[in-house]
């Protein structure tokens, strides 16, 4: 089992920045890829970004490419999502998830999930 806890969400104006954190505990975190997903009001959950277990590979959704950066610090068992140039359409609950796989992009591939953190971007 891997337990995940997100933090860092909040209210920000359009154009601003936030950094989300995903703290992990439980089994060896360095063996797991981690992904960020989001679910906006009335929308389905969508993939945002993923990082490999070692951190040497990442993949970003087109909607956030060039604005969001995923990274990890395995010494701290933490994955980050740096979000810059935020837009109102980025408003959503953001979830981190862990998978014993290589850069999965589908939510069904992730067995472990955090509880989510709310990000609200005002125009």
Q: CA quadruple 82, 86, 88, 90: dihedral positive or negative?
A: negative
Helix or strand run (H / E) with residue 33: strand 33-39
pLDDT higher at 79 or 29: 79
Q: How confident is the model at residue 50 (pLDDT cuts 50, 70, 90)?
A: very high
How far apart CA 98 and CA 4 sit, in angstroms, is 8
User: Tokens 């906006």 correspond to what residue?
Assistant: 40
How far apart CA 94 and CA 14 sit, in angstroms, is 17
Residue 29 has pLDDT above 90, yes or no: no
How far apart CA 33 and CA 110 sit, in angstroms, is 9
Q: CA quadruple 89, 16, 95, 70: dihedral positive or negative?
A: positive
Q: How confident is the model at residue 10 (pLDDT cuts 50, 70, 90)?
A: very high
Q: Please tell me the predicted confidence (pLDDT) of residue 53.
A: 93
pLDDT digits (tens, 9 = 90+) for 36-48: 999 999 999 999 9
pLDDT digits (tens, 9 = 90+) for 67-96: 999 999 999 999 999 999 999 999 999 999
Q: Please tell me the predicted confidence (pLDDT) of residue 27.
A: 67
Q: Mean pLDDT score of the chain, rounded to an integer?
A: 95
């Amino acid at each position: 089992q891997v337990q995940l806890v997100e933090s860092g969400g909040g209210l920000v104006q359009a154009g601003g920045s936030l950094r989300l954190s995903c703290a992990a505990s439980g089994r060896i975190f360095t063996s797991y890829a981690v992904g960020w997903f989001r679910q906006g009001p009335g929308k389905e959950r969508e993939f945002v970004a993923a990082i490999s277990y070692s951190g040497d590979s990442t993949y970003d959704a087109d909607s956030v490419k060039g604005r969001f950066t995923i990274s990890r610090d395995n010494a701290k068992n933490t994955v980050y999502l740096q979000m810059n140039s935020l837009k109102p359409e980025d408003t959503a609950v953001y979830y981190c998830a862990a998978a014993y796989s290589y850069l999965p992009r589908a939510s069904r591939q992730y067995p472990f999930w955090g509880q989510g953190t709310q990000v609200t971007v005002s125009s």
